[in-house]
Amino acid sequence: MSRPLFWPTLTTLIMLATLISLGIWQLQRRDEKVRLLGTIATRQAMKEVRLPATLRPLDQWTWRPVQVGCVLEGPPAWLVGNSAAGESGFRHIRVCRRSAGPNILVDIGWSRDQRVPMLITIAIPIVGPALVSDTPGWAARLVQPAPQKHLFFARDLKQMVANLNPKTEPLLVVTRVPTPGLQPSATPKLADIPNNHFMYALQWFAFATVLVVVYGVFVMRHKLHKG
């Protein structure tokens, strides 16, 4: 290999290996997402169960339909989000004091503004899917605003618990029947979790192909010029 081609070739090989690795990683991510979607579908189809006093590990409850008796307490909080009808607004989050076991968080309904719904001082039934913290991508985390006076912009349950009641477990139940004055909040659906990793893999492999073509043209032009 002539010296003028050494560094372009080395750089191309490094970039090519990186692009192919990213493509393979996306294929692995696709397989992981398929397994995750299967787990979610299985849990959503499970029979509704009453939350026991012992909740750990919390991941065993995520996506499952559960029921829990709650006395709502603590300051009102809001999570920016959608209603079941797809409208943008505020999901109302409260601490749920249970008769047995640690407190949890509950989503008691949705409204267009940050109104405070009717105060309920008796225990009420909350029935709906349980969720743990959302895991936004790094780009979303960079632009995500910080919470302001119990207004949250992402389902970061640990952050909510720290602001509302540190003794509360970071588990959220979204009620199917909202409290008076509110509308139903959106509940998680499989369609909300895209599996685009195969397309991402094709993009990385396409970039690798373009890189090889560009390098081939560069080598040919170098040889013609040298000749």
Domain presence at residue 158: yes
Which position has the higher pLDDT, 6 or 146? 6
State the pairing for strand pair 124-131/65-82. Answer: antiparallel
In the chain, what's the furthest Cα-to-Cα distance? 90
Q: Which two tokens stand for residue 99?
A: 């008769």
Asked if residue 219 is part of any domain, the answer here is: yes
Res 115: pLDDT: 85
DSSP string, 124-180: EEEEEEEE------HHHHHHPPPP-SSEESS--HHHHHHHH-TTS-S-EEE-SSPPT
Please give the C-alpha separations between residue 114 and each of 74, 104, 117, 148, in angstroms, as whole numbers: 16, 21, 9, 13
The reply to whether 31 and 95 lie within a common domain is: no
Q: Indicate if 25 and 98 belong to the same structural domain.
A: no
Q: Taking 60 as the threshold, does the pLDDT of residue 54 lie above it?
A: yes
Whether residue 2 is contained in a domain is answered as no
Number of domains in the chain: 2
**What pLDDT, on a 0 to 100 scale, did the predictor assign at position 144?**
57
Is 4 part of a structural domain of the chain?
no
Q: What is the pLDDT of residue 40?
A: 87
Task: For residue 205, tell me if it sits in a domain.
Answer: yes
Residue 31 lies in a domain: yes
Judge whether 147 and 163 are in contact, CB under 8 Å. Answer: yes
